């Protein structure tokens, strides 16, 4: 209690120096807390956007150029496999769409089949999605995302309107509800057309990509197994490892989580180094202060201070400096994350765990780097210390 009072007195007696010493700890704690929060925020937003895409989503990608065995018929067969709810082929292109004088170049033109809306959790704002007859008859119809409709027609209620692409006229049969942006980019720039139309206009033969949804997120691995068995069966003769792969969103989520956690750890590690440098600053100042106050130590010893008294005086001083520095750093990081959140478009939160760790770490640094100078001070012989001018 008495040592704490003495420590405050000594810190206040040397305001500028105490502040500069604390600055090291403040910056250290600030960088640890803010960087780790950014890492965790990134982690959360990545997870959230993947979850939005659907965790029961799988995709089959075929790498074979020739002898590709996958046809629309086979995609329909996949729907019947164990654990699989829906399967749709997927092919993407881009180009300039025209409606009257309006042009739209940023769209993703996706050729697919009915069922794709189920796989991707799309819902209709107006009209209908693609149908089997659209596919079978190679109808020139399209379903638009909100942004695509807005850009082309200046409105989102445009079912029945038409636009041209590569000279072919398409009739709008449906408008999707707003999807919003996710990690995969804007979801509202879609132009969905029947797979058979796309196959002809994209001038691509064969299905190289199939989106599959599992019946539930628990059945993702069942679906993956049955898809693998089905594909292996089709690919007999070819070296299967290079002919196709099945991509699983749940695994992707795990992989990304691992990646962002590593990132967080790395950022935290770099920041921890600055905390360490702050600690060395404390040691430096305490050492200077010990030699400056040698005479004071001598006087204190002469009037009855024991080694322990001197040790605790200097140690408490280092601790108080690092604790105040840590708390100030934490306070500033709370402010910083508050103001950085909108800038980074990320939900930044200082988790109590990180706050606790940062404070505990700065206290530890106070003890570790305060111990040596304090010990040095306490060992001074009173007679030597008194002789010091």
Partner 1 sequence: MIKMRDITKCYQLGGEKVHALDRVSFDIDDGEYVAIIGPSGSGKSTLMNIIGCLDVQDSGTYHLDGVDTSKYSGRQLARLRSTHIGFIFQGFNLLGKLNALENVELPLIYQGVGRRQRRRRAEEALSSVGLSDRMKHRPSQLSGGQQQRVAIARALVANPHLILADEPTGNLDTATGNEIMGLFEQLHEQGNTIVLITHDRGVAARAQRALRIVDGRIQPEENQEG
Binding site for partner 1 (CB under 8 A): 2, 9-10, 13, 295-296, 298-309, 381-383, 386
**Closest to partner 1 by CB, 1 or 101:** 1
Smallest distance from partner 1 to CB 301, Å: 7
CB of 7 to partner 1, least distance (A): 12
Q: Provide the minimum distance between the beta carbon of 380 and partner 1 in the complex, in angstroms, as a whole number.
A: 11
Backbone φ and ψ for 188, nearest 5 degrees, come out as -105, 10
Name which of 11 and 275 has its Cβ closer to partner 1: 11
Q: Closest CB to partner 1 among 308 and 345?
A: 308
Which neighbouring-strand residues pair with 174? 127, 143
* List of residues 6+ apart from 247 with CB closer than 8 A: 58, 59, 60, 61
Q: Residue 228 or 309: which CB sits closer to partner 1? A: 309
140: helix, strand or coil: coil
| Cβ neighbourhood burial of 236 (10 Å; 0-12, 13-18, 19+) | exposed
Q: Coil, strand, or helix at residue 206?
A: coil
* β-bridge mates for residue 245, sequence order: 61
Backbone torsions φ then ψ of 180, nearest 5 degrees: 85, 170
Give dist(CA 81, CA 229) in Å, integer. Answer: 10
Report whether 245 contacts 58 (CB < 8 A).
no
- Residue in the block written with tokens 């695994």: 251
């Amino acid at each position: 209690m008495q040592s704490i009072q003495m420590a405050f007195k000594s810190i206040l007696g040397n305001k500028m120096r105490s502040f500069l010493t604390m600055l090291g700890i403040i910056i250290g704690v600030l960088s640890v807390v803010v960087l780790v929060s950014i890492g965790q925020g990134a982690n959360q937003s990545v997870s959230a956007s993947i979850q939005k895409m659907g965790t029961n989503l799988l995709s089959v990608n075929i790498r074979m150029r020739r002898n590709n065995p996958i046809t629309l018929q086979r995609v329909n067969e996949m729907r019947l496999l164990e654990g699989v709810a829906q399967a749709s082929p997927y092919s993407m292109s881009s180009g300039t769409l025209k409606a009257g004088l309006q042009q739209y170049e940023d769209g993703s033109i996706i050729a697919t089949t009915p069922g794709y809306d189920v796989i991707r959790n799309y819902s209709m704002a107006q009209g209908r999605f693609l149908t089997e007859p659209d596919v079978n008859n190679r109808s020139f119809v399209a379903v638009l995302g909100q942004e695509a409709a807005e850009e082309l027609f200046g409105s989102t209620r445009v079912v029945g309107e038409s636009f041209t692409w590569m000279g072919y006229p398409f009739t709008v049969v449906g408008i999707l509800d707003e999807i919003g942006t996710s990690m995969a980019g804007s979801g509202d720039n879609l132009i969905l057309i029947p797979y058979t139309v796309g196959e002809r206009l994209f001038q691509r033969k064969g299905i190289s990509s199939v989106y599959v949804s599992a019946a539930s997120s628990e059945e993702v691995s069942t679906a993956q197994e049955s898809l693998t068995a089905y594909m292996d069966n089709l690919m007999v003769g070819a070296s299967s490892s290079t002919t196709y792969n099945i991509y699983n969103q749940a695994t992707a989520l795990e992989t990304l989580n691992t990646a962002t956690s590593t990132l967080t750890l790395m950022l935290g590690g770099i920041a921890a180094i600055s905390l360490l440098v702050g600690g060395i600053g404390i040691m430096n100042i305490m050492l200077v202060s010990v030699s400056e106050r040698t005479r004071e130590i001598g006087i204190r010893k002469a009037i009855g201070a024991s080694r322990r008294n001197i040790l605790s005086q200097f140690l408490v001083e280092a601790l108080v400096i690092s604790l105040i520095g840590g708390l100030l750093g934490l306070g500033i990081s709370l402010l910083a994350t508050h103001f950085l959140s909108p800038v980074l478009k990320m939900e930044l939160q200082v988790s109590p765990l990180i706050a606790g760790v940062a404070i505990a770490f700065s206290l530890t640094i106070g003890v570790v780097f305060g111990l040596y100078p304090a010990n040095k001070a306490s060992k001074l012989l009173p007679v030597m210390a008194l002789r010091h001018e």
